[in-house]
Copies of this chain bind each other. A is one copy, B any other.
């Protein structure tokens, strides 16, 4: 048996490749799916089936792409109008090699959500693994608010049934394989520990301590999770079956002048460097989203109707940036800046920079009561746990729609927990005409490390 968990960084998405004998299956493949094909080829296996746990809302599913590459059959749950693949019914079984996979309808996150149990008939008929999609995570359960507040009660009740009546009864010894790890928006409190079993979750998972259905539903209704704008796009794509890429796009590195032409034709510039480098010098008008933040914050801030141009620290990062973008549906990548930002300023093309300040400097400014608008762009919960006195809070993902709350004419000092999200925010402010923007290096983390006061 070959078992490989394939992570998509940033999205904290987990997919699974399971091989037995000459056959393999993939569960919830990502869109850049060559990796599954390569695994299969290396082991002399054929991918026979692709299973989807549900119509995903946070990334583009790779099933049609992988089917194109391998000829494997696609299966997903009933109840919504998928334009591709086959429907699977509760209890349906699939054999590959000496293994057996069985489908288990576990609605709650979505109506058509499926789990899949894996058993090894030679050793015993009970399953030893379960793939729970967005129903059950390590340390959390799936969100139940995707259908809107009217249906949240129904969904939460369904999830309670799925977990307590279908998944947990599989037995404490069953290994848990969820669709997301820590950092995903599909659950609020997923653990960083990636290894668990139903038995461990039964005892330790905070949500599973709400065994009473009403209590569980109440707990879920109180949850307050972000709903990034790109979710709608993902849902639609994943229902229709996303456009086939047939291999990873390989955008061209463009010399500064050609790059500028694409800008003039309407392309957006996304600069994936670290905040200290972006702050030092960047193309006027560019978005500053650090590389690993791209698969998530890209979806928050970038429109889908314009081509994207990339400024990278190293040209070798192109492939990674492209993977991140296509996973959330940004297929139209017009190129990267050849030679990086240095080639741009060597041509005397317009650059901009941010004021990068240390927490010591920020403290001084506050103590000297310098005029400024101090902006905290972290998440709601982080803000609630403590912030710098005098700050205002707008989540980075909501910033561009709330610019009216930020006065023009005085300096804006932005912080997050690290200066990465504040760099995204600062770039948005600059783009929108704010002249004097400061990013606080190290932000809240440095602030605390310096021993400065935090208020609630």
Which residues of A are in contact with B by a Cβ distance under 8 Å? Answer: 1, 3, 22, 41, 44, 120, 123-124, 126, 128-129, 139, 171-175, 191-204, 253, 255, 273-281, 313-315, 338-342, 345-348, 350-351, 353, 356, 358-360, 418-419, 441-442, 445-447, 449-450
User: A449: which B residues are within 8 A, CB to CB?
Assistant: 346-348
Measured in the bound complex, the distance between the Cα atoms of B123 and A203 in whole Å is 10
Q: Is the CB of A194 within 8 A of B3?
A: yes
A347 to chain B: which residues have CB within 8 Å? Answer: 442, 446, 449
A175-B195 CB under 8 A given contacts A200-B126, A281-B441: yes
Closest 10 A-B residue pairs measured CB to CB? A173-B199, A280-B280, A172-B172, A348-B450, A277-B277, A124-B204, A276-B280, A173-B197, A276-B281, A345-B442
**Given the complex of chains A and B, what is the CA–CA distance between A347 and B444 in angstroms?**
10
A128 and B348 form a contact (CB under 8 A):
no
A447 and B441 CA atoms in complex are apart in Å by 31
Instruction: Enumerate 22 A-B pairs (CB-CB under 8 Å) in ascending A order.
Output: A3-B195, A44-B315, A123-B193, A124-B203, A128-B195, A173-B200, A197-B197, A276-B277, A277-B277, A278-B280, A279-B280, A280-B280, A280-B353, A280-B356, A281-B441, A313-B313, A342-B442, A345-B446, A346-B442, A348-B359, A348-B447, A350-B358
Contact A196 B128 (CB under 8 A): yes
> Which of A120, A275, A341 is packed against the most chain B CB atoms within 10 Å?
A120
Q: What is the bound-complex CA distance between A129 and B199, given in angstroms? A: 12
Choose one: B175, B315, B356, B418; the contact of A346 (CB below 8 Å).
Answer: B418
> Closest CB-CB distance, A327 to chain B, in whole Å?
23
**Known interface pairs A253-B44, A274-B277, A342-B276; A351-B441 also in contact (CB < 8 Å):** yes
Which of A195, A201, A315, A447 has the most C-beta atoms of chain B within 10 angstroms of its own C-beta? Answer: A195
- The answer to whether B342 and A274 touch across the interface, beta carbons within 8 angstroms, is yes
A432 to B419, CA, bound (A): 29
CA distance A124 to B342 in the complex (A): 32
Contacts of A193 in B (CB 8 A): 1, 120, 123, 128
B345 touches A123 (CB 8 A): no
Q: Closest CB of chain B to A29's CB: distance in Å?
A: 19
CB distance from A122 to the nearest CB of B (A): 8
Please tell me which one of the listed residues B22, B175, B279 contacts residue A175 in the complex, with CB atoms under 8 A apart. B175
How far does the alpha carbon of A200 sit from the alpha carbon of B418 in the complex, in Å?
A: 43
Given contacts A274-B342, A348-B358, 16 further A-B contacts (CB under 8 A): A1-B192, A123-B193, A124-B200, A128-B200, A173-B197, A173-B198, A173-B201, A175-B195, A276-B277, A277-B280, A280-B353, A345-B358, A345-B442, A346-B418, A348-B449, A350-B360
